[in-house]
A and B are shown apart, each in its own frame.
Chain A
Amino acid sequence: NAGVTQTPKFQVLKTGQSMTLQCAQDMNHEYMSWYRQDPGMGLRLIHYSVGAGITDQGEVPNGYNVSRSTTEDFPLRLLSAAPSQTSVYFCASSLGQGVYNEQFFGPGTRLTVL
C-alpha cells in the first residue's frame, strides 16, 4: 500500500490563480480530511468527508472547495489563491469515524502564494 499520497510536493502560485491539490489513499478509508499547518498554530481542519459524495466544512473552510466523487480521491481546490493561503497542506484518512480509527497523514504540500 502507498498509504496517503499528495501531489504536488511544492507549488508557487500568483495571487488570483487557481489550482487543485491532489490527495489519494489506497486503504479503502471512508473518512478523509484536509488540514493546513501554519507556524505556531498547529494544524487546522479545512474540509472533511465521511464517504464518497459527502463533504462538510471544518474550522477554516473559506477560500477552499472540495468534492469526493470516489472513495480514493479527495482533491482540495483553491479557486482564487491569496497570500493568506500560503501554508503546508496535509491530507489525512481513516477507516471510519470511531475513536479507535487512527488517522493517517500524507507527506504534505507546501504552497506559496505571491
Chain B
Amino acid sequence: AQSVTQLDSHVSVSEGTPVLLRCNYSSSYSPSLFWYVQHPNKGLQLLLKYTSAATLVKGINGFEAEFKKSETSFHLTKPSAHMSDAAEYFCVVRVTGATNKLIFGTGTLLAVQP
C-alpha cells in the first residue's frame, strides 16, 4: 500500500529564512508525488509534482522539491520565506494504476514570523 508521512505538523520560520517541509513516502512502485498548498479557508492548489522525470522539481512561488529514492523522501524547500507562504502544505502520493486516486499526508502548518 502506498502512503506518505509528513514529519512535522507545525513549522515556524522567520520571514526571509529558508523553509523545509519534510515528507517520506512508501510505495512498491515508482511513485507520483505532489505537494499541495491550502491557504486559510481556501481550496487546495498544486505547488509541484514529481512524475519520474527530473528528481529536482520546481514549482510555483519559488518552491522546489527533491525526490530521493534512497531516502524515500520528497521534501519541500524554499530559499526565503515570505509572509504569504503561511498556509497548510500537503504531501500527496498518487495510487499506482489507471486511477487518479490521491492519498494525502496529514499536513504541515507553516507559520511565517515577521
A residues at B contact (CB < 8 Å): 4, 31, 33, 35, 40-45, 48, 58, 90, 92, 94, 96-103, 105-108
Contacts and interface: CB of A to CB of B under 8 A. Distances in A.
Contact of A97 (B36, B49, B99, B105): B99
Contacts of A106: 43
Contacts, number: 52
B100 A94 contact: yes
A45 B9 contact: no
Taking residues whose C-beta sits less than 8 angstroms from the other chain, chain B's interface range is 20 to 34
Interface string B65-101: 0000000000000000000000000100010001111
6 contacts: A42-B106, A43-B102, A45-B101, A101-B100, A105-B44, A107-B43
Q: Which of B43, B46, B105, B106 has the most CB of A within 10 A?
A: B43
A4 B99 CA distance: 20
Contacts of B26: none
A26 to B, nearest CB: 16
Nearest to A93: B100
